[in-house]
Structure 1
Amino acid sequence: MERRGVLKLVGGAAGAAVFGASTMGNEAEEPPRPERTDEESPPEPSRNEKGEERLRRGEVGHELVGVGAHDLLANDELGELLSRLERESDGAVSVEVVGESNEGREIHSARVGEGDVDVLAIAEQHGHEPFQAEGHVAALGYLGTADRSDVRELRRRITLHAIPRVNPDGFAARQRVNHAPDAPENDPEAGLHTREGGWDPNRYHRYDWEESTLYRNRPEEYPENPVPESRYVVELAKEIDPEWVLDCHRQGPHVDSNGDLIDASIGWPQNPDVPADAQKRSQQLATVLYDRLPEVEECHLTEFTAAGEYPGIARNAHALAGHGSVLFEMSTGTRGGIGYRIQLTAEALLVAALATADGSLHDADPSRVEEIPAEWGTTVNL
């Protein structure tokens, strides 16, 4: 099946699950997915059974094991798909190119909705962390084309902005960093977060560059942010002043303290200087994701415990600027394959958007993040 069709199916399934219980509209043109009976399908293996089998087959690890080039959207395909979505949604989804990478690849931004409340989702800052772009496209497609009163009401109340692939050069090279062969040697204390071949985009989101560690240490050498991909995200965020920023990544195959594989982890700002209002909104969004994602898709969620205080990391930088900010880390070691990972990413974005539109985000208790269990360890040495 054409990948566009696959994403449409994923988006439809994710949307039906998330919006099946929506109370924003009276119509219900798309009913929730029916549950299977025991006669229709055999019992699903447990999370541990699936995880152990995948480990035996060697399908988890640092490399994109089991993922061929045909399984992922190349950057030109991503642009073409977004353009087709713009046409087929009759303008409900609008697309633009916000900039170019160092190797000249386009960085696309999409927008759906016309509400006064703006929200922002970004994905694939790290080039070797796939499936988030496809998840974003599936969610955008659903919100732009679903013929439901609650979806139309969501579009009336909020405007969702998305940059599905922040780092197209890194994606093309299947590497974490962008493409910058002249990037200096890694020196975090000086503000240099690099690996051979480029800069780490997820360390350069300071809104005021003159407050950054790199500028303070080397102002003459780096008078401006040297990472174009991060600049485009910050510029868009400054322009739209979002209620929240959802940053989608992919982590390794982690387990909790019981040894159960984790499907995804959620992080919120850790920098002590984050304003109280921004921290509250971040924790409210984290709570909403933790509560509602398992209701629409079987998944095991934990807190992302590798979060640090560095102010240039997206989850801290956007919160320091006064926005809610949440990190969503899909795991490589999940119960499902590619379709599951795409769908869970799409559902995370749809859950966040719906909670913002129906106002339930603001009713969430931020202190409940303390109930989210912590990650415990990794199943392989990454």
Structure 2
Amino acid sequence: MRPLSFQAVRSLAAGLAAAALTGGALAAPAAAAPVHAPGPVTEQGGSGQGARLHTNTELARELKRIEHASHGRVRVRSIGTSNQGRPIWYATLGTGPTRLMYVTQQHGNEPLGTESALLALRSLGLGDDRESRALRSKITLGIVVRANPDGHHHGWRYNYDPGADPEYGEPGKGYDINRYHDPAVAPDDNPATEAAVIQRQYAAFRPSIMVDYHMQGRYAFPPPDGREITTSILWPTNDDVSAGALRAAKQVGVRVHDAFTGAGAVVSQYPGGSYEGIARNAYGLRGSASLLVELSALPQERENFQIRSAAISMVDLARAAASGALAGIDPARADAIPPRGPSLPGGSAAAARGAAPAHDAAD
């Protein structure tokens, strides 16, 4: 399948901008100041480093505004609560048989995917034209919007659990949610509260496509290419994932790659591990076409680009799933996506603004 044309990307980007301006406050409208990955975010209004993201309170209000503006086409509810009692929001649209599930911000200090999800919900859910109605009749999309509200509030990677003594996480602080999706561990036995919420919702929803949005530090391809990488992606790498699920995941990966590159992004393969507890592997083991997306922690002035390019990928994947276009993609194209290059000088400083540390190569 060919990458999106310039005209198609421009049309989609224009639609996202129009959606962002419909119905009120959104973190990434064209006229807004850039959003940045925060330090600790308070309910009183952000981290004090320029333009800020939605706080948890603001996110709840914005999701309800989208639901209202959509006249019920977007449906919003809480599917559980964090350890500190904050709701974990789940937004759905469409009534079709093909089911997609997106998850944003499992790591609390990796926030840009959440802002992208708001744009995507507006783009896919507010239109009442024939094309929009047809798309929603073919797919059902569910988005866990900010899976880790406690981590977002505190400005750290983990959930909030002072009693934690985790294999993955930090004692006395919390669990790394994206290590606790092992299909062999029942939700009731899962020590990471928010991961158990995602497990239950996945089992109830049974999506054929599962995409998990994260952030990483700053990287570039080695010379002579030298371009800075804006996005990295990866499909399941656990050896027990079925051939069919792996093939479908790579087809999704190629489509997502093409959407990002069509929007001007520079995309690499992410060097992730094979551990079965990582969502990318766990939901591949359960049979879904599972994909990881990592947005690089670019300088503040480029973060609106990151938000919009990810929103374009979300919308385009939904359209491809609705049209049946994914089945025609050669999965071998995924293997040709170049591996992520070395971290850039100062990349650890970018990581301190919100993304995973530059040395972290395990989602």
The equivalent position to 1:91 in structure 2, one of 72, 75, 99, is 72
The equivalent position to 1:193 in structure 2, one of 164, 168, 192, is 168
**1:333 Cα offset (Å):** 2.5
Cα separation, partners in 2 of 1:241 and 1:19, compared to 1, 3 Å: farther
Unaligned runs of 5+ in 2: 1-6, 19-35, 41-46, 349-356, 358-363
The equivalent position to 1:208 in structure 2, one of 179, 184, 204, is 184
Contact kept, 8 Å, 2:37 with 2:111, in 1: the verdict is: no
**1:195 Cα offset (Å):** 1.4
What is the alpha-carbon distance in structure 1 between the residues aligned to residue 163 and residue 61 of structure 2?
A: 31
| Residue number in structure 1 paired with 2:340 | 375
Contact kept, 8 Å, 2:16 with 2:120, in 1: the verdict is: no
Contact kept, 8 Å, 1:204 with 1:313, in 2: the verdict is: yes
- Partner SS state of residue 136, structure 2: helix
Please list the CA deviations of residues 74-125 of structure 1 after superposition, one character each: whole Å capped at 9, or x if unmatched: 1111111111111110110000000110011110000011101111000100
What is the alpha-carbon distance in structure 1 between the residues aligned to residue 218 and residue 81 of structure 2?
A: 32
| Residue number in structure 2 paired with 1:75 | 56
**1:169 Cα offset (Å):** 0.4
| Residue number in structure 1 paired with 2:227 | 260
Number of positions where the alignment pairs a residue of Structure 1 with one of Structure 2: 316
Residue 232 of structure 1 pairs with residue 220 of structure 2: no
**1:69 Cα offset (Å):** 7.6
| Residue number in structure 2 paired with 1:346 | 311
The equivalent position to 1:355 in structure 2, one of 320, 338, 350, is 320
**1:126 Cα offset (Å):** 0.3
Cα separation, partners in 2 of 1:285 and 1:149, compared to 1, 3 Å: same
**1:148 Cα offset (Å):** 3.5
Residue 247 of structure 1 pairs with residue 222 of structure 2: no
Contact kept, 8 Å, 2:94 with 2:136, in 1: the verdict is: yes
What is the alpha-carbon distance in structure 2 between the residues aligned to residue 147 and residue 349 of structure 1?
A: 19
Contact kept, 8 Å, 1:18 with 1:351, in 2: the verdict is: no
What is the alpha-carbon distance in structure 2 between the residues aligned to residue 334 and residue 262 of structure 1?
A: 13
Residue 330 of structure 1 pairs with residue 330 of structure 2: no
Contact kept, 8 Å, 1:254 with 1:333, in 2: the verdict is: no
Unaligned runs of 5+ in 1: 1-15, 22-28, 34-59, 187-191, 213-222
Residue 294 of structure 1 pairs with residue 261 of structure 2: yes
**1:31 Cα offset (Å):** 12
> Considering only aligned residues, what root-mean-square deviation do their CA atoms show, in Å?
2.8
Contact kept, 8 Å, 1:247 with 1:326, in 2: the verdict is: yes
Contact kept, 8 Å, 2:259 with 2:312, in 1: the verdict is: no
What is the alpha-carbon distance in structure 2 between the residues aligned to residue 30 and residue 225 of structure 1?
A: 40
Q: Give the structure with higher Rg (CA).
A: 1
| Residue number in structure 2 paired with 1:146 | 127
Cα separation, partners in 2 of 1:345 and 1:31, compared to 1, 3 Å: closer
Cα separation, partners in 2 of 1:31 and 1:349, compared to 1, 3 Å: closer
Greater shift, 285-294 or 323-332, is seen at 285-294
What is the alpha-carbon distance in structure 1 between the residues aligned to residue 250 and residue 100 of structure 2?
A: 15
* One-letter code aligned to 2:270: F
- Partner SS state of residue 140, structure 2: strand
- Partner SS state of residue 250, structure 1: strand
Please list the CA deviations of residues 186-239 of structure 1 after superposition, one character each: whole Å capped at 9, or x if unmatched: 5xxxxx1111400000001123316x9xxxxxxxxxx71011111111111111
What is the alpha-carbon distance in structure 1 between the residues aligned to residue 265 and residue 219 of structure 2?
A: 13
With normalisation by structure 1, the TM-score equals 0.77
Cα separation, partners in 2 of 1:151 and 1:200, compared to 1, 3 Å: same
**1:20 Cα offset (Å):** 3.8
- Partner SS state of residue 160, structure 1: strand
